[in-house]
Amino acid sequence: MLNRGFICAFLVVLAWGTRPAAGAGFELDEQDVELMATAFAGRAAASANAATIWWNPAGMARLKDWNYNAGVNWVFVDGAYSDQGSTSAVGTPMLGETNDNGGTDGLIPNLYVTRSLGERWVVGIGVNAPFALSTQYSTNSTVRYFATLSEILVINIEPAASFRINEQWSVGAGLMLQHASGTLGNQIDFGSIGASLSIPGLIPQAFDGSVKVDGNSVSVGFTVGVLFELNEKNRFGLSYRSQVKHKIEGDADFSVPDAASGVVDATGAFVDTDASLDMTLPDKFILSGFHQVHVKWAVVWDVSYTNWSTVEEIRIKFENPNQPDSVLDMQWDGSWRVSTGAIYSINDKWILRFGVAWDQSPIPDETRGPRLPGSDRFWVAVGGTYIIKPWLRLQVAYFHIFVDKTSIDQSEPAAGNLIGTVNGGVDAFSVGFTGTF
């Protein structure tokens, strides 16, 4: 059994280590090392280990006795921003570093355990981070008035159960118990604000302050799934994860230069206050297939749809009535992901996996900004399994994501007009263990 100290240590690593986003939007697909090697093709049908709790709880019906899956993913994100002629709130050229890299690296762990109860029932619990975002820019960058720090982290604890109806059909369901936290920060051009209020001595871009808003939320969602085993060599899985509505509540901390105190006096704004942010995480459908085409070969495929239309805007509400809401128009669209892969059993000790995927971005060109400058992605993945003992398997995987070069053209009255491009990619290395006990 896993002891309490191990679980507590795992949660600390999860909370402090998880940072980047490597899927569409700010969803993290890195929830299973074994499936990462096939670019997550077949994830709702593979049902090969305890991580099926997350992909399709019905798949637990194929697992016997105690099963576990523990993995760690190291993700390296490159997000090089290049300014292309941004202007300040008063129309002058934006001053500052014209090249910056907002991408951040991170550590993404996950843990799952299942237990069979007789011939038909299996129960389990999983802990992972299904959503995370982290971008960070210099406070001297031309991006600074639009974003300096953006962090979102969702920790998910999922108890689940499956029931085998007969030899072909199994069903499953689980609860998603989530803790969400977020931090958003940027510089404020008090020089331009002061000039617009005719406050003497304030020069645009010469008197910067800052704001940082952070908070957290707890909420609940659910997941359901079905697994159909046509025969011993072919099975299909369909799963659904619900929307989860979070109300992130916290506070806003403003830093105002002494020379700009007149702006505070004139407006009553830019003072520390409570703040809140509503965020609805998207629901998701996954349809997958697993096909054993030869004694040594299997092929897998996957189609999924994520309803990112739940992200219409980022609206920060301040308790101070003199501080207007901070609103960032998003208008995201639903996005598709398709993947395919293959599994080759080299011998009784080694299994090779590889896969490719196309991941559609939900972000429209007209609302793309520096906090998350996402675009369509193409995945290439490879990995394998070494069977150390019947109850202990070592899993390793690597993927690279090719990210399309994207353009940013974003305007905000108090910040100016941000014009630039972002180019980069994502690499991930993963190690995990699966087995029985």
Domain membership of residue 378 (yes or no) is yes
What is the pLDDT confidence band of residue 103, given thresholds at 50, 70 and 90?
confident
The CA distances from residue 109 to 47, 71, 90, 372, in Å, are 20, 6, 46, 22
Cα(272)–Cα(88) distance, integer angstroms: 25
Q: Is residue 428 part of a domain?
A: yes
* Widest CA span in the chain: 81
Residue 17 has pLDDT above 70, yes or no: no
Specify if 363 maps to a domain.
Answer: yes
Domain that holds residue 109: 4-432
Q: Which pTM was predicted?
A: 0.91
Q: Provide the pLDDT for residue 79.
A: 85
Please check whether residue 437 lies inside any domain of the structure.
Answer: no
Please indicate, yes or no, if residue 256 is contained in any of the structural domains: yes
How confident is the model at residue 11, as a pLDDT? 42
Q: Is residue 192 part of a domain?
A: yes
Q: What is the pLDDT of residues 319-337, one digit of tens each?
A: 999 999 998 888 999 999 9
The total domain count for the chain is 1
CATH number at residue 361: 2.40.160.60
Q: Is 90 within a domain?
A: yes
The residue-averaged pLDDT of 124-145 equals 94
pLDDT average, residue stretch 228-257: 97
Q: Is the residue at 113 inside a domain? A: yes
